[in-house]
Amino acid sequence: MNYRHAFHAGNHADVLKHIVMARIIEHLKRKDKPFRVFDAHAGIGVYALDGPEAQKTGEWQGGIAKMQAAFAPEIEALLAPYRKVLADLNPDGGFMCCPGSPEVIARLLRPEDRFTLNELHPDDYALLRDRYYIDARAGITGIDATVLMKANLPPPERRGLVLIDPPYEVKNERELALDALRFGIRRFATGIFMIWYPVKGEDFAEQICAAFQNLGIPAMLKAELRVRESFTGGGLAGSGLIIVNPPWGLEAELKVIVPALATRLGIGTWGQGVVEWLTEAKA
Ligand code: SAM
């Protein structure tokens, strides 16, 4: 396992993912009933953007660094939970402390909600455990994401979100992501699942979306952000999220947020934001 998220934290893909996660969590909080969030590929939780890894790649310069200026008020209203996480983490201003998905979860869930953070890399697992073990709402595991699905779903609360966010650095990782969803949804059919995928190469994004579509699972919404042209050997040109069982109202919100992010984070005139259904909800 070579991938370490510290080199990529705060890039355009993290910005999209964490904003959408924060929106989903806000929807779940609209009901009094507690819920649970599973972060199957958690990373370490918080990243220092002045640390050696982030400084080496500078990826955050094309992501979170461009989020300083305010958007139009109707967009800021939707970004408010994400903005709050950033502000609480950086009480002296600026964004030098960058949240990972565990921190977005920990800062937005209520005392009665629960979360499970899972990370397979032993060093990152240790950092994750040391940061969150003190939180009574948290469970922390260091197992394979698919095993996590098999062992822990459905949660006793019977409502919640499962984040599947693999690095796609090993050859069969696309199949593993498909498996994680297939196993997960079989056990927790009413859960909200959010799967991240990269836009890279000639047509990686088109292929993975087609593969998810072919699973035949209803109610899959796609939100994709491209910041530049994608070509073989060209690295990460964007990213997308597949959201299964999205809360009512999320689609309309993403149709406001994603194009605004594309304009802000796109390089030159390249920014593209697409929100569309991959499969329809059951009538
Ligand atoms: N979700 C994090 C966030 O938004 O801050 C970023 C996660 S990063 C893209 C993917 C993580 O998955 C890495 O930390 C990697 O070590 C971990 N990982 C890779 N393969 C895994 C597996 N099979 N099961 C669980 N975690 C895995």
Mean of pLDDT over the chain: 95
Q: Give the tokens for residue 239.
A: 């990213």
Could you tell me the distance, in angstroms and rounded to a whole number, from the CA of residue 112 to the centre of ligand 1?
26
Q: Distance between the two ends of the chain, CA-based, in angstroms? A: 43
Of 28-32, 172-176, 208-212, 263-267, the range with the lowest mean pLDDT is 172-176
CA distance 270 to 268: 5
Question: Which pLDDT score is estimated for 196?
Answer: 98
Q: What's the mean pLDDT in 240-262?
A: 98
Would you state the pLDDT for residue 69?
A: 96
Arithmetic mean of pLDDT, 239-268: 97
Q: Whose CA is nearest to atom 9 of ligand 1?
A: 167
pLDDT at position 223 is 98
| Percent of the chain surpassing pLDDT 90 | 91
Identified catalytic residue from 14, 39, 113, 165: 165
Cβ proximity of 222 and 241 under 8 Å: yes
Residue type present at position 55: Q
Is the Cβ–Cβ distance between 86 and 93 less than 8 Å?
no
CA 45 to CA 25: how far, in whole Å?
17
pLDDT of residue 93: 85
On the question of pLDDT at 1 being above 80, the answer is: no
Write the residue with the smallest CA distance to atom 11 of ligand 1.
Answer: 41
Read off the pLDDT of residues 108-154 as tens digits, 9 standing for 90 and up. Answer: 999 999 999 999 999 999 999 999 999 999 999 999 999 999 999 99
199 φ, ψ (degrees, to nearest 5): -100, 110
- Which atom of ligand 1 is nearest to 43's Cα? 14
Alpha-carbon gap, residue 50 to 62, rounded angstroms: 15
Tokens for 138, please give them: 């948290």
Average pLDDT of span 195-209: 95
Q: How far, in Å, from the CA of 42 to the mean position of ligand 1?
A: 5
State the closest ligand 1 atom to the C-alpha of 45, by its place in the atom list counted from 1.
5
Backbone CA torsion sign across 103, 107, 108, 109: positive
Cα(196) to centroid of ligand 1, in Å?
A: 11
In the predicted structure, residue 160 carries a pLDDT above the cut 80 = yes
Q: What would the pLDDT profile of 27-49 be if each residue is shown by its tens digit?
A: 999 999 999 999 999 999 999 99
- The confidence score (pLDDT) of residue 198 equals 96
- What does the pLDDT read at residue 269? 87
Global pTM reads 0.97
Residue nearest to atom 21 of ligand 1 (CA): 120
Q: Closest by alpha carbon to 66, among 104, 21, 15, 100?
A: 15
Tell me what pLDDT residue 179 has: 92
- Quickly state the pLDDT bin for 26 (edges 50, 70, 90): very high
3-state secondary structure 267-283: CCCCCEEEEEEEECCCC
Determine the distance separating the centroid of ligand 1 and the alpha carbon of 41, expressed in angstroms. Answer: 3
- Residue 82's pLDDT is 98
What's the average model confidence in pLDDT over 102-109? 98
Report how far ligand 1's centroid is from the alpha carbon of 248 (Å): 28
Q: Closest ligand 1 atom, CA of 196?
A: 9
* Residue to mutate, 18, 39, 41, 85, ligand 1, most ligand atoms under 8 Å from C-beta: 41
Residue 141: both structure tokens together: 């595991």
The residue contributing the CA closest to ligand 1 atom 13 is: 43
- Burial class of residue 91 (count of CB atoms within 10 Å of its CB; 0-12, 13-18, 19+): exposed
Task: With CA atoms as reference, report the closest residue to 233 among 211, 260, 201, 265.
Answer: 201
Q: How confident is the model at residue 169 (pLDDT cuts 50, 70, 90)?
A: confident
**Atom 1 (ligand 1): residue with closest C-alpha?**
42
Residue to probe by mutation, ligand 1, list 38, 119, 152, 172, most atoms within 8 Å of CB: 119
Q: In angstroms, what is the span from residue 277 Cα to ligand 1's centroid?
A: 26
Q: Residue range 15-31: average pLDDT?
A: 98
Q: What mean pLDDT comes out for the span 91-106?
A: 93
Give residues (CB < 6 A) around ligand 1: 1, 3, 5, 14, 17, 41-43, 100-101, 118-121, 124, 144-145, 165-167
| pLDDT of res. 171 | 82
Torsion angle of C-alpha atoms 179, 19, 101, 191, degrees rounded to 10: -40
At a CB cut-off of 8 Å and minimum separation 6, what does 31 contact? Answer: 159
Q: What is the pLDDT of residue 261?
A: 98
Helix axes 12-28, 250-265, angle to 10 degrees: 160
Would you say residue 94 has pLDDT above 90? no
Q: Is 21 strand, coil or helix?
A: helix
Report residue 110 as tokens.
């209520």
What phi and psi values does residue 87 have, to the nearest 5 degrees? -70, -40
Q: Respond yes or no: is residue 130 known to be catalytic.
A: no
Share of the chain above pLDDT 70, in %: 100
Contact 173, 146 (CB under 8 A): no
3 state DSSP class of 148: helix
Q: Tell me, what's the pLDDT at 178?
A: 93
